[in-house]
Amino acid sequence: MIVLGINEDLFDSGVALCDGPKVLFASNEERYTRAKNEGGFPFQALASLFATTGIRLSDIDRVCLAGFMTPPLPVRMVPAFHNWLFNARRSHKESFLRGLLDDVTFYTPISHTSDRSLMRSAIKPFLGPVSRRMFPKELRGKPFRFVDHHYAHAASAWHLSGFEEALCITSDGMGDGLSLTVSTCGPLSKVKRAERSSRYPEDGGVTPWGGMERLWTASSRDSFGLFFQVLTEALGFLSCRDEGKLTGLAANGDHTRVTEPDPFRMVDGRLVYDGPAFGQRGIQWARKHYAGRFSREDLSAWGQYLLEKHTVEIARYWLQKTGLKRLVLSGGVFANVKLNQRLHELEEVEALFVCPNMGDGGLGHGAICAEHLTPPEKLKNVFWGESYSDAQIELVLKRAGVDYDACPSEGEKVGQLLAEGKIVGRFQGRMEWGPRALGNRSILVRTTDRQVVDRLNGLLKRSDFMPFAPAMLDEDVDEYMKNWGAGRLAAQFMTVCFDCTERMHRDHPAVVHTDGTARGQLVEAESNPSFHRILTEFKRRCGNSVVLNTSFNIHEEPIVRTPEEGVAAFVNAGLDYLSIGGFLARGKG
């Protein structure tokens, strides 16, 4: 069964296409519009899906859409609302429009409905007709279903983990009335299997393999993610994009210097938030009462401390209560790699997996998984986007007027250049799915000289307090990372931090953060053989396999997608070399 998954969210919309359990394509709209975390209906990503895979519209058996109330029905009815909301949230300026949109979002029932509410029941019949208008004509008659926002998050994480049984936690700003869920994942009981078979008779009697059962939830009114958004904007950054900057700043702060009360508490087993309002109202208050009294480093450390404290307490409670030892995570809050470190270090956790596209960008794939559960299968890679032929690439190189040669042995040549201290952009194979560059759309350089950090920050226009991440051969992890066992699978997708060994501190200062941690990427030969060959050659020449790996883009832009974007970023950033397809281009520096 060929199933199309669509996420038409306010931020980071996208698509996915699966043939049974196999992912044929997955990408997000931001890569096409070049606006980071672009929301709205993913028209361009959808067009690229069909162009890349060769699948015809008539081949689609079913369409799965993520979210009943996120985005709200009025936004789905008037697509221009997407742009208004997106642009209002992307501006540092306070405005009447921003205030109005925030009030509608955060203070009306439409964003806080439960799955049993009358409002959701009343709106459901209109979702299909409204959403069908956005589809290509050939898709409008296809069977399709809506999937709860957090079920989609959970299903994607569990399906890709390969864990037969697991505890799943999802956490984000808000989605379908919730901000956090805890679920068990595992084989369905006979009763549940029969219920699902009767629910989907058109599946020909095929019984889905397993299921998820929710144990506990937190309302969207009591949201860790929305509180972090308030702090982010109070410190002058952009919400739904720059929350990671607070995590970077936190390493230089002291949370005990912030004397404000904890805005979160548990009341009769329910999470309750008593902090500043959400949206523009809360940002104004937080600027005066938080940012106006404490340093941004201390305030960031306080926010990070609260997030870790409460999430760890929730995770530990449910791990102990269920007896499950494997933990899977999804939702935008789990883009926070320091939080993920605290979770994988719990003694109750034997193995941890974080959905590589943990934010709303992963919901298209999650919607498919939630409706068509197949046995979880350990993820090998997420190279699910476009790729380009050497003929297409060479035409771009010629038009750009850059100096290039054929490069028949990329692993040997790039490994040599890195050993010489050169900065190399890498554009190879299919594009990564999710926010992390994992070698195919990456900028690489040696890590032994701390000065390279300053050079890269200048070239890429990055904030100087944000750490860079190392990539290394999976077999070398014990030499550079501590306590990595439970997080080994997650580390293949750069979704978790580890404490660094003494050797890492001494030999690779460019990728060790102020707090002594690094978001290491472990590279296996099976998952990315060409990148593995580069690191192997580099190790042969230098005695270690650690290189700095950062995303191939200019700061605040999405990761490059096309050869044109890759060459432009190479030229504009002034990199030394670009390995692109079967060619090696030289910079002018």
- Residue 180 in 3-state DSSP? strand
CA distances to 22, 420, 500, 520, 528 from 468, in Å:
32, 20, 14, 10, 21
What is the distance of C-alpha 414 from the center of its chain? Answer: 28
Expressed in angstroms, the distance from the first to the final Cα of the chain is 52
pTM equals 0.94
For 153, the enclosing helix (H) or strand (E) is helix 149-161
Q: Quote the tokens at residue 124.
A: 């459901």
Instruction: Say how far apart CA 111 and CA 70 lie, in whole Å.
Output: 7
Pairing of strands 351-354, 470-473: unpaired
Give pLDDT, residue 116.
Answer: 79
Task: Give the phi and the psi of residue 45 in degrees, each rounded to 5.
Answer: -65, -40
Q: Residue 476 half-sphere exposure, CB side, CA atoms within 13 Å?
A: 22
Give pLDDT, residue 80.
Answer: 78
What is the greatest pairwise CA distance in the chain? 68
On whether the CB atoms of residues 567 and 588 are closer than 8 A, the answer is: no
Give pLDDT, residue 101.
Answer: 75
Is residue 268 exposed (0-12), middle (13-18) or buried (19+ Cβ within 10 Å)?
exposed
Pick from 163, 180, 176: which is nearest to 216 by CA? Answer: 180
- For residue 71, whether the previous peptide bond is cis, meaning omega lies within 30 degrees of 0, is yes
pLDDT string in tens for the chain (589-residue length): 899 999 998 889 999 999 988 999 999 999 999 999 999 899 999 999 999 999 999 999 999 999 998 888 888 888 777 777 777 766 666 777 777 777 777 777 777 887 778 888 888 888 989 998 899 999 999 998 999 999 999 999 999 999 999 999 999 999 999 999 999 998 765 555 556 556 554 444 333 445 789 999 999 999 999 999 999 999 999 888 889 999 999 999 999 999 999 999 999 999 999 999 988 888 999 999 999 899 999 999 999 999 999 999 999 999 999 999 999 999 999 999 999 999 999 999 999 999 999 999 999 999 999 987 677 999 999 999 999 999 999 999 999 999 999 999 999 999 999 999 999 999 999 999 999 999 999 999 999 988 888 888 888 877 778 899 999 999 999 999 999 999 999 999 999 999 999 999 999 999 999 999 999 999 999 999 999 999 999 999 999 999 999 999 987 899 999 999 999 999 999 999 999 999 999 998 6
Is residue 39 exposed (0-12), middle (13-18) or buried (19+ Cβ within 10 Å)?
buried
On whether the CB atoms of residues 565 and 427 are closer than 8 A, the answer is: no
